[in-house]
């Protein structure tokens, strides 16, 4: 498994990580998937405090017990639940971030996080206060580095200009190329790595998945048509559709890792198999871009 440097940090992470949100709540199964991932060379695990009401962090914590030195561990904060209120409340305040980390560390059974990420963000946030919270957590030794998880170009620009973040988690796939024009070049120039989530576009790019709904500006019919074309490309370069999709997300130089989710061992192994396939050639990338849509950000600017 190839390891890539995460931004300007001294963290080297597997080019294929594990997005832990899909693990589910069955303890034995979830821990088994994490252990299999580690055995296959994956070292980057991404979770968040809100996944399954904190249960996801607890399961990841159990899975990495005794294996912490093999893991680059990432979690997120910023969404909070308030007793008596439905849904989530956005809170990027310094006070909340510094309290949330303590609960995440408790659930994960660790003394520190390698990467702590703001789980969203708006341009109206007190950005300097949020940055100050992360910087203080670094000084206190509770986190090694920080980043943000955002698809909002203006938010990303502000953090890129004002913070020492090392990464941005951003949705990026053949079906979601919104970041190619506005975000990826900026981050590459700044030496900030992209953690690409959703490389299989919620399963739309998995060959075995039946298409029943659209994705972004694609209709179901357009996805089926594109998959037929991509299948031809995949066959010509001796890859599966999953491998082609993951390799596309990894093809941009700003991307350090992709984090497909896996709810079964079979899905995990299909994702990891992409690590054993060659990088896409410039010709293959050009073909994929020609047959897919160069969609743009329309909201959340």
Whole-Å CA distances, 215 to 113, 150, 172, 181, 296: 33, 18, 13, 19, 14
Domain range annotation of the chain:
3-202+249-279
Predicted confidence at residue 122, as pLDDT, reads 92
Q: Return the SS3 of 281.
A: coil
The superfamily CATH assigns to domain 3-202+249-279 is NADP-dependent oxidoreductase domain (3.20.20.100)
Determine the pLDDT at residue 301: 67
Model pLDDT, residue 110: 98
User: What pLDDT is recorded for position 32?
Assistant: 98
Would residue 51 show up in a list of annotated catalytic residues for this protein? yes
Pair 144, 113: CB distance under 8 Å: yes
End-to-end CA distance of the chain: 36
The reported pLDDT for the residue numbered 107 is 98
Q: Are 26 and 65 in contact (CB under 8 A)?
A: no
Say what the pTM is. Answer: 0.96
- Residues (pLDDT < 70) of the chain are 207, 299-301
Torsion angles phi and psi, residue 269, rounded to 5: -70, -35
What pLDDT sits at residue 176? 97
Res 230: pLDDT: 96
Indicate which residue of 51, 116, 172, 248 is catalytic.
51
Q: Which residues of 259-282 are buried (b: 16+ CB within 10 A; e: fewer)?
A: bbbbeeeebbebbbbbbeeeebee
């Amino acid at each position: 498994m190839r390891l890539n440097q995460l931004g300007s940090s001294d963290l080297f992470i597997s080019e294929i990580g594990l997005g832990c949100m899909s693990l589910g709540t069955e303890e034995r199964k979830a821990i088994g998937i994490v252990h299999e991932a580690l055995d296959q060379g994956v070292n980057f695990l991404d979770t968040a405090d809100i996944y399954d009401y904190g249960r996801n962090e607890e399961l990841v914590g159990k899975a990495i017990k005794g294996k912490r030195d093999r893991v680059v561990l990432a979690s997120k904060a910023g969404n909070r639940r308030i007793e008596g209120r439905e849904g989530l409340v956005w809170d990027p305040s310094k006070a909340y971030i510094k309290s949330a980390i303590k609960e995440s560390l408790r659930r994960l059974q660790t003394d520190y996080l390698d990467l702590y990420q703001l789980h969203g963000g708006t341009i109206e946030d007190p950005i300097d206060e949020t940055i100050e919270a992360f910087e203080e957590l670094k000084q206190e030794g509770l986190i090694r580095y920080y980043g943000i998880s955002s698809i909002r170009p203006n938010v990303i620009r502000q953090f890129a200009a004002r913070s020492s973040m090392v990464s941005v988690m951003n949705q990026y796939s053949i079906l979601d190329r919104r970041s190619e024009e506005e975000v990826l070049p900026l981050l590459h120039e700044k030496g900030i790595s992209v953690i690409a989530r959703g490389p299989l576009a919620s399963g739309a790019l998995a060959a075995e998945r039946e298409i029943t709904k659209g994705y972004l500006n694609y209709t179901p019919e357009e996805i089926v048509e594109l998959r037929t074309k991509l299948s031809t490309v995949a066959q010509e370069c001796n890859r599966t559709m999953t491998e082609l999709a993951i390799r596309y997300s990894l093809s941009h130089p700003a991307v350090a890792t992709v984090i497909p989710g896996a709810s079964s061992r079979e899905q995990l192994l299909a994702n990891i198999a992409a690590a054993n396939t060659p990088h896409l050639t410039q010709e293959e990338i050009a073909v994929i871009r020609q047959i897919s849509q160069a969609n743009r950000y329309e909201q959340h600017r």
